[in-house]
Structure formats: C-alpha cells, structure tokens
Amino acid sequence: MEDVIIIGAGPCGLSAAAELQDKGFNPLIIEKENIAYSISCYPTNMQFFSTAPNLEIAGVPFVTPNDKPSRLEALHYYRIVSERRELRIRRYERVTAVVREENGFRVESETRAGVKLATRTGAVVVATGYFDHPNWIGIPGEDLPHVSHFFRESHPYAGTRVTIIGGSNSAVDAALELERVGANVTVVYRGESVSDNIKPWVRPLFEGKVAKGAIQLLLQSRVAEIGLDWIRVEKADSSAAAAEGEQSTLPADFVLALTGFRPDRAFLRAMGVDAPDGVIPPAHNPETMETNVPGIYLAGVVSTGRDANEIFIESGRFHGRMIAEHLAAKRAN
C-alpha cells in the first residue's frame, strides 16, 4: 500500500513528490514516458520565458550562466532533482484507471511490454500536464502527414514553404527559426496582432522580419482547408469573407498548426472528478488542490481551464506544497 501515487513526472509532479517527502511521505511517481517529458517535446533550441529561480523545485538551485534557461538546461536540472531527491519513479508505465476502493484507490497501469499492474494507495496526485492533446482546429486536411501540431527543429524544413497557424510564442519562435534556415514562412493568425504575451526580446526580431518581408504575416485570417501542397486562407469572419470572395490559395509544403494543447479531461472524469470540457477548470479546492473526489488531487496545468498558459511551472510548482500540507493534516487527525 503506497502513501501517495503521483501520476506524471513533469516539474509539478516532481515538486509534489519532494514536498511530500518533506512531510514524511514516501510518494511513488508513475510516468508514461520519462521525467520532464513535456519539456523534451519543446523545440530543441527553445529558451524559457522564466528565469532559473522561478523554475526551481525541491530546494535544489537551478544554476545557469544565462538570463533565461534553455530546454536542455531544464531537462538536465529536473533530472538532477529526481536523482538528488532519490525519487521513486516507475518510467514508461501508463496509468489506465484510478478506481476508488474502501481504504483508498487502486491505480491500474500498463508497462510498454504490456504487463498490467495494480497498485493500491491512500491518495492520488494527478500531474499529467497537457502535451499529448493538441487543440485541433477541425478543418479539412488537418490530419494529412505533412501537418503537425509540434515543432522540434528547423532543419527538416530548410528550403521549403511552411505555413504556421497561430500567433503565440511557439508560432513566433518557430517562424524565426525557420526563416534562418531558408524556409519560406507564412504565419496565419486570427487576431489583429500576434499575442501580447510574446517574449519581449523576441517580438522586435519577429516584427523586423515581417516588416522586411522575410516572414509573411496574415492577420485576422484563418486556414480553412489544407491540401497536399496548398492551403486555403480566408478572413477570420469567414461567412462574410467567403461571400465576398476574400480568400486565397497559397502554396505550402508543410503546415505547423501551433494552436496549443489541453489537459485530458476524460481521464479525470473516469476517476469521478467533475471536469467538463471547455474553459471551466476541474472541480478542486484552490487552497488544497483536492478535487470533488476526496483523496484525489491536481497539480500543475491539469487544474486549469482550456488555456494552459494559466498555470506554468512558476506557479504549478507550489501546488505540491498545498497538497503535502493537506495530506499531513489529514494524517495528524
């Protein structure tokens, strides 16, 4: 019988494990990939918006000579944290169900080899992140093989025509990297301008490339259809625009639909957590992170509504402390 099982070994899951250790618990982490999997999916050359101190967990300093840590530095840091804290992590094991029992929960899981396991625990912390579930646009051609919701590195796109859908940091960063390797880049975004949250040291670089014509930016527009080597673009108010013929077809060898990601609400609902699809966050007490199912807690981005940017490592890393304090108080009683 485990004290606590944490589902997910991202920064928020690791932080929760360390906070629970500090309260005398011996948590077990079950992770379907490896630690910090979401960060490993970030673009290879990505630089964090946050400074190193704001990414620190478990009382372990994040040392870097850079103002903003890189993806590689973050992966190294969170791996070091797990090693120094000697956290118990079962890697490459997917949790398939969490079932309530008389004295706690039965966590059902399956290894990559197909071995099915059942582990009993007194409490469960869900820290699953969101990177497995991109926000699909729902347009024809979105499932074609040259369309991706992820961007890792620019080299495969060198010398090609690439359309980026989106106007967030990920879209702007990708556009700049692609332009550097000689890609012909078009950014399509429904807003009047790219996001206000663009990193302040990146925005001038992007706007300069757009002003010089090195990157084509189509604002108040949307991709309505994707073909094998083309896209159809129309004004964001599509009904009126289509009637007036305000649409065009552009060549595109690749399409990057960088439209964000969302937590897996169905996984939570299967546990009994009140987690409707949409912008409403799953039911939980923001002071303890306990859900409407006593003994099941949320940590990190899984506790948010549709906009995953509401919670990031900076704030999500503190969820574990609230959870640990609540579980310690329960144990004391």
One domain, residues 250 and 317: no
Decide which of 201, 222, 257 is a domain's last residue. Answer: 257
* CATH code assigned at 207: 3.50.50.60
Task: Report the C-alpha gap between 121 and 161 in whole angstroms.
Answer: 52
| Structural domain boundaries enclosing 96 | 2-133+261-332
* DSSP three-state, residue 130: coil
Decide which of 257, 289, 322 is a domain's last residue. Answer: 257
Residue 308 confidence (pLDDT): 52
One domain, residues 127 and 152: no
In a domain, 237, yes or no: yes
Residue 261 confidence (pLDDT): 82
In a domain, 172, yes or no: yes
Residue 246 confidence (pLDDT): 74
User: Residue 3 in contact with residue 122, Cβ under 8 Å?
Assistant: yes
Q: Structure tokens of 300?
A: 């990190």
Residue 310 confidence (pLDDT): 41
Residue 115 confidence (pLDDT): 98
| Nearest CA-CA partner of 14 in 56, 72, 61, 51 | 56
Q: Mean pLDDT, consecutive 10-residue segments, the chain of 333 residues?
A: 97 97 98 94 88 94 93 96 97 97 96 97 93 86 96 96 95 96 97 91 95 97 96 78 69 95 87 90 96 97 67 80 97 87
In a domain, 140, yes or no: no
Residue 105's alpha-carbon distances to 3, 94, 307, in angstroms, are 11, 16, 30
In a domain, 142, yes or no: no
One domain, residues 23 and 111: yes
One domain, residues 152 and 228: yes
User: Residue 17 in contact with residue 63, Cβ under 8 Å?
Assistant: no
Task: Report the C-alpha gap between 135 and 119 in whole angstroms.
Answer: 32
One domain, residues 156 and 81: no
For 198-214, what is the HEC assignment? CCCCCHHHHHHHHHCCC
Residue 313 confidence (pLDDT): 76
In a domain, 138, yes or no: no
- The domain total for the chain is 2
Decide which of 257, 273, 303 is a domain's last residue. Answer: 257
Length of the chain: 333
Residue 7 confidence (pLDDT): 98
- This prediction has a pTM of 0.88
In a domain, 139, yes or no: no
User: Residue 114 in contact with residue 287, Cβ under 8 Å?
Assistant: no
| DSSP conformation class of 295 | T
One domain, residues 72 and 157: no
